[in-house]
Amino acid sequence: MFKFLLAALLIGLTAASGVGAPKPPHVLVVSDVLSDTPEALRPQPGKPIHYVIIGNLENDLGTPIAGEPRANAAMVEREVVKVLASQGFLLTQTGGPMPQLGLLITWGSAVLDTTEMPYTPPPQPSFGGVPDPTALPPPPPPDTVLLAYNSREIATLIGADKTRGVLDPNVISAINDAATTARVYIFIGAFDIETMLKKKEKKMLWRTRMSIPSTHDSLPDSLNVMLTSAAPYFAREVAAPVFIGEADRRKASVEVGTPYVVPEPAKPAKK
């Protein structure tokens, strides 16, 4: 009896302390403003910005991991619409206001595709075809080198091009790890609807990318935490990639005033 009570007490203490509970992932957020966005296209208190979704599709960067849980367009759209509303961006309903933005949403896995290739040593420095006697002997060459096929796409996703001014070695190390770690991601890009309709041009105003390692977390289970982490950065320029943890999410505040509630779609009348 005593052993049973002790075991129950230990289980209760473990649950109360949160030990063993899965921790929400750190979300890597990269956000860019690509052109001058008029103030009229930025949400203000009491003045939401309406949008229409012009695309919502899965787009894997690299070869996805077999057996990885997959999201679907409906669940992604539901979470995106809900979190965007918290920042003053509202999905245009039938018969509602004319949309000002067109949003493109893509999502999926992001895996660096690599292959090993035989190593070809570079030519040694020489004078007139004669090897330079003062040149240091080269290090022993490797047998193979690793060639990455989609390094540019992965680098763009994690914001590697925005780390030139970053001096924190921990951030640099985290970005380097992100480049080689299998991830899942969500991308939201905002286009000026007026430019699309009148000039037939696709003018992207801003884009926000959010990703997490897929080692312990899946996209379907992490949609809300990823979008909530990125929400304060929608339509804003971020100088360097940002890693958002649970403490950051708790203290994040909405800067555009009172959050907006997404209206529920009308249910069809029963016959």
Q: Digits of tens for pLDDT over the chain (271 positions)?
A: 444 444 443 344 444 444 556 788 999 999 999 877 677 678 888 889 999 999 999 999 998 888 899 999 999 999 999 999 999 999 998 888 999 999 999 999 999 987 877 777 777 665 566 666 777 777 777 776 667 788 899 999 999 989 887 878 888 899 999 999 999 999 999 999 988 888 888 889 999 999 999 999 999 999 999 999 999 999 999 999 999 988 888 775 434 333 333 344 444 444 4
H helices of 88-218, where?
151-158, 169-180, 193-198
Closest residue by Cα to residue 48 from 209, 246, 207, 234: 234
Domain ranges of the chain: 39-117+152-247
Taking CA atoms, 229 is separated from 24, 80, 179, 206, in Å, by 11, 12, 20, 17
For residues 208 and 35, is the Cβ–Cβ distance under 8 A?
Answer: no
pTM to 2 decimal places:
0.76
Closest residue by Cα to residue 183 from 218, 158, 213: 213
Tell me which CATH code domain 39-117+152-247 carries.
Answer: 3.40.50
Q: Is the dihedral of CA 255, 231, 28, 166 positive or negative?
A: negative
Report which residue type is found at 146.
L
What the block records as the tokens of 237 is 């320029």
